[in-house]
A = this chain, B = another copy of it.
């Protein structure tokens, strides 16, 4: 391992000294999912929110409301979507007993565990108007609940 200290072509090397245009802007995205591990690519609507408000650089925090869905990034292709479902089925199987289900009879104890493990929030920098994602790196919502649901994502942008 080497840390390359003075990488000549340091992309995004930007810094502001004037605060003329700093803003906090809140938007939301509403999606409909199939539940049961449905994986929804929201890269484009998030990027569109940044473009619409005209911010050039800062951070965007995407947050999913509810405790049975979560966010991460992945190369969005059908093979990995299937593999992700297999991963979570191994980590938190849907067919073992959960205390949550014994108390509430929702049948979605595994959904809660998967969502809590992955987390409800993702913060991504943007520069020159675009998120600094890799080419094969998409923002996805995983809906682990055991039924189709509407989901609301908060898209909070801070920058200038």
Chain B residues whose CB sits within 8 angstroms of the CB of A86 once the complex forms: 98
A156 to B5 alpha-carbon distance, docked (Å): 17
Number of A residues, CB within 8 Å of B: 90
What is the copy number of this chain in the assembly?
3
CB-based contact A53/B15 at 8 Å = yes
A14 to B59 alpha-carbon distance, docked (Å): 16
Chain B residues whose CB sits within 8 angstroms of the CB of A17 once the complex forms: 23
- Identify the A interface with B (CB < 8 A): 1-5, 7, 10-17, 19, 22-34, 38, 40, 42, 44-45, 53, 57-59, 61, 63, 65-67, 72-75, 77-80, 82-84, 86-87, 90-92, 98-104, 109, 112-113, 116-125, 127, 132-134, 136-137, 152, 154, 156, 158-160
